[in-house]
Amino acid sequence: MDWKNKPKSFWKDKLKPIEYAVTQESGTERAFSGEYWDKKDAGHYLCVCCGTPLFESTEKFDSGCGWPSFFAPKKGEAGAGDDIEYITDNSHGMRRIEVRCKTCDAHLGHIFDDGPREKTGKRYCINSASLKFVPEDDALKAPAAE
């Protein structure tokens, strides 16, 4: 399926308003307001739009920032982060690196260099509204997004 060329009406019908604002308009949910910022359950974090697996709970850590934080993306067949696209973001008077889903171009959040030094040193600061959590036990039976 060609996820990148879906019309805005498709996404408005498919997504909740906050999911649409974050993923399609590069918005940001308020800190400490998202569903997953403090989730500690074992499982997988998928793109809320297309269902692409992006992060694992084993790479999640509590950064104290109020958004889900990961020190690395999920490792795909080609390597870590091959389902994530990195884009220079100079908005709001800052220079940051935006992370987007490579499959559907959904805005996920940003990456910073203040993550756990003993791991990667990276912090993927991701909006809960851009993710769908699948518990470890349900991972094999989770259908792909449509």
What amino acid positions are annotated as catalytic residues?
125
135: three-class secondary structure by DSSP: strand
> Strand order of the sheet with strand 123-126?
60-61, 69-70, 123-126, 107-112, 96-101, 84-89
Q: List the 43-47 sheet strands across, edge first.
A: 53-56, 43-47, 131-135
| Strand segments (E) across 28-106 | 43-47, 53-56, 60-61, 69-70, 84-89, 96-101
Contact status, residue 76 vs residue 103, Cβ threshold 8 Å? no
